[in-house]
Amino acid sequence: MDFKLKNIPSQKGRIAVVTGANNGIGFETTKALANYGFKVIMACRSKVKAEKAKVEILNTVPTADLDILQLDLSDLDSVRVFAQNCKDNYVKLDVLINNAGVLIYSGKKNGAGIELQFATNHLGHFLLTNLLIDLMPDDTASRIVALSSLAHKSAKIHFDDLNGENIDDAEAVYGQSKLANLMFADELNRRLKKTGKKIIALAVHPGGSDSGLFDEMSRVKYYTFKMLSPFILNSNTSAAKPSLFAALSPNVQGGEYFGPQGFNEFKGKVGFAKRSEYSRREDVAQKLWQLSEEMTEQSFL
């Protein structure tokens, strides 16, 4: 099932949104999609960083068709403004890659008092997908791709403590947000199929990658990580392959979970990824969906 980038035909005329497009995996995903002919809407919190990234991509792919729209996924009002801008300026959306994410250890919250990782990684993308899905043609080539993580495997959804205020392990809160990404993709795909839609939703993980998520580590941990990273981690270019496979391969059905196949799934060829038994629980996914609708104040499918 290894994904061959060189075999992708021209995607001229198609439109994609990539959240967190200005760095790491999002940057490499954006560059690849632009190279295939997509118009890519770079959904980024910082316009300054996005402009810099756009220049870098154009230096490599002079034909790249890139638009920048500001988006702060932790702020649901910002998500609504972004979605309205898309509806006002584009007649369709073929691919939505919910790539952006934060990993923090400091218990930060957004303006509404919601733990920042859950707000950004899950709720923002839940609302964004809800608001943009009507732009997507009802076709199997229309894809919604959620980026989960290896961190989902040891996580569960703490419905009684979403902010992690009583959780000693700070990394468990990040794991919860990435588990939510995976379970959202699963439940979305089930609901699409039940309503007769052909749009495909699925999830991926990038393996191990130094994608800029680790800036809040202690300096000792950070530099140890940096020293070991060439031996255990994907480059961001390779880490983008699962997302590109999910977005472009004709050999996906929806509801799958893809990632690298090497040692501990850190790197390697793209294939079916391992997932926790907890992540398969439809009752939990449905409860998470209902809670997400309540927290975003937006019904969905």
User: What is the DSSP-derived secondary structure letter of residue 255?
Assistant: S
CA atoms within 13 A on the CB side of 88: 7
Alpha-carbon gap, residue 207 to 60, rounded angstroms: 25
Tokens of 256: 């799958």
Alpha-carbon gap, residue 292 to 260, rounded angstroms: 29
For the question of residue 174 being annotated catalytic, the response is yes
- For residue 270, how many other CB atoms are within 10 A of its CB? 23
Active-site residue, from 105, 174, 222, 257:
174
Alpha-carbon gap, residue 31 to 20, rounded angstroms: 13
User: Is residue 226 within a helix (H) or strand (E), and if so which, with residue range?
Assistant: helix 219-232
Task: Quote the longest CA-to-CA distance of the chain.
Answer: 52
Amino acid at 232: I
Alpha-carbon gap, residue 183 to 289, rounded angstroms: 9
Tokens of 7: 């075999």
The residues annotated as belonging to the active site are: 174
